[in-house]
A and B are shown apart, each in its own frame.
Chain A
């Protein structure tokens, strides 16, 4: 669904030449979005609830070995495969190009997760638990999801809202870089850049025009809003 009625089209650029794979974004996201703690068993059983993950791929054999990192989060596709298959519109497209997920609408068919080629949708297999007083950290801006619902990266929609409200209170337009998801905000090498793709002068738009740009599974026609910049210059043989 490509109908946009808003002036914004949120997008993200991830520069793989900058990404060091450190994992700061993962924890920042977990803190920001009330993501439950997954115990060892849960992760062993494929129930990790992280919204963003760093994929590490090995290449070659010693001594010509490389490790490549690929931060993977919801790609907020313009033509999202998860949206049409949801029978209850829990997965929907918002006017600003975001893939929304309505937790209280979701019945848990998990069809969206199957149809997501990026495998970024996670399912609440159990009710989340935070031993007291860990629950005091939870942010009131983000719903704590109950069991049986799907969830995924929201591009920190609560921060976008907050930014827009602040801008409208001050009767001005939202500035480029004013709104940042937790991952982009914390990323030490600034590999993650977030902004409005509709604004040709925004930092994200400029970077998105880089010759190093590529999108994952472009052939599937999902039109992701996350644009990767190729990690370059690896002149290591192999």
Chain B
């Protein structure tokens, strides 16, 4: 009886959880069209930049890096969401991660891919970007492996590949489900994508071992990626950048923005797929506590950095802080509110941690503040660099803003498309969780002890 009831439930669940893959509605088309249009406008802006020159941006001497690098750092930071949920929560066996697992992993892949575009957009001569690659050539020239930008390229590529594999491996059982539920040419495609997943015990064992292993491996990659991004800045002689704290500070910043993004995602997915029974207030409470912890850490790092600068009062470094607080005072205020004051005070209260509207506001604010934080790291230091005679400032041009907005649109577009063609909810994981309650799990013809034993 249990088996039949289970089977019935499984079928119902499959159908429910694949509902996102049902044929698109006009709303979906509208959304995709709007996002596509924004991306197209961004492409147009990029074309303008490529055909006329970097002069169409707000970049100048001394501020040679602008919105593109800021966006790059932001998106790399955001990409830590998937790693956080899938890896850390997986290793810590938090079972409520299951419904948001896929969404978060996809977020990682798309945000790191979007991040990877920015260094290329940023190049003065994008059309010869391949000079950065160690490809064999007649001139016998190699890229300069001492350059942090090359570390960057290697790290970003590793992360893209790693997180894609991570996402894909997790997708395998679900692709099999989709394969089983679809027909015609779709079935053929999903059959190829599912790579012959049959759900045998051996496959499950390999799968579970592989997932855990990948989860272990992806964490150091994630840490290294953001450390390397931090070193792009920290290894220079630029006052305000040259700081040993930058790598851990950037990692914490990335985790902050990742955690906040995951909470936002949880709220959205819960609403869209009506997962009230899976994502209960206690889960939000837990995530909010995590966010509180990383916000505290971030604030601690930020305080350490500003405090040491203020105490030492090295003229040029203090000059940068003074300039930042006068020219970009409002932004600094929003950053402090969004990263420190609001989340730390707000998340201390249980009611706030369990209130979804409040959490939505706080997490969006955190990510806005994180974007500003990157701006305030990149721009003021360059504006008031060592030579006072050529101090300057920076205001992004329409081209840069268009490309930045387009990057958000591209991210959402990729996400929307992904949700349409792939199961956005991790079916097997959720089912697994369902069946946890039953104490055992039916996998094909075998019956296994549940893999998860928590709660």
Contacts and interface: CB of A to CB of B under 8 A. Distances in A.
Do A and B originate from a single complex?
Answer: yes
A139 interface: no
B387 A106 contact: no
Contacts of B80: none
B313 interface: no
**Chain B interface size range:** 35 or more
Nearest to B61: A46
B315 interface: no
Given A84-B147, A220-B237, A149 B386 contact: no
B61 A47 contact: yes
Contacts of B59: 110, 123, 125
Interface in A72-125: 72, 81, 84-89, 105-111, 113-115, 117-119, 121-125
Interface residues of A, number: 45
Taking chain A's interface residues, is the majority helix, strand, or loop, or is none over half, making it mixed? Answer: loop
A46 B63 contact: yes
Interface in A197-235: 217, 220, 222
Contact of A123 (B54, B387, B392): B54
Contacts of B146: 84-85
Interface of A: 42, 45-48, 53, 55-57, 70, 72, 81, 84-89, 105-111, 113-115, 117-119, 121-127, 147-150, 217, 220, 222
Contacts, number: 140
B323 interface: no
B61 A85 contact: no
27 contacts: A42-B55, A45-B55, A46-B60, A46-B61, A46-B63, A55-B387, A55-B390, A81-B236, A85-B147, A87-B132, A87-B149, A88-B132, A89-B141, A107-B132, A109-B124, A110-B65, A113-B62, A114-B238, A114-B382, A115-B236, A117-B237, A119-B386, A124-B124, A125-B59, A147-B53, A147-B54, A148-B125
B216 interface: no
A31 to B, nearest CB: 21
Given A111-B149, A119-B387, A88 B143 contact: yes
A212 B131 CA distance: 45
A108 B55 contact: no
B60 A148 contact: no
Contacts of A148: 53-54, 123-125
Contacts of B124: 106-110, 123-124, 147-150
Contacts of A84: 144, 146-147
Contacts of A42: 55
Contact of B131 (A55, A88, A126, A217): A88
Interface string B48-66: 0000111100111111110
A55 B386 CA distance: 13
Contacts of B149: 85, 87, 109, 111
Contact of B55 (A81, A87, A113, A125): A125
Contacts of B388: 57
B123 A122 contact: no
Given A70-B389, A89-B144, A148-B53, 19 more contacts: A45-B58, A46-B390, A47-B55, A53-B389, A81-B237, A86-B144, A87-B143, A88-B131, A111-B64, A113-B61, A117-B386, A118-B387, A119-B385, A119-B387, A122-B61, A124-B53, A126-B53, A148-B54, A148-B124
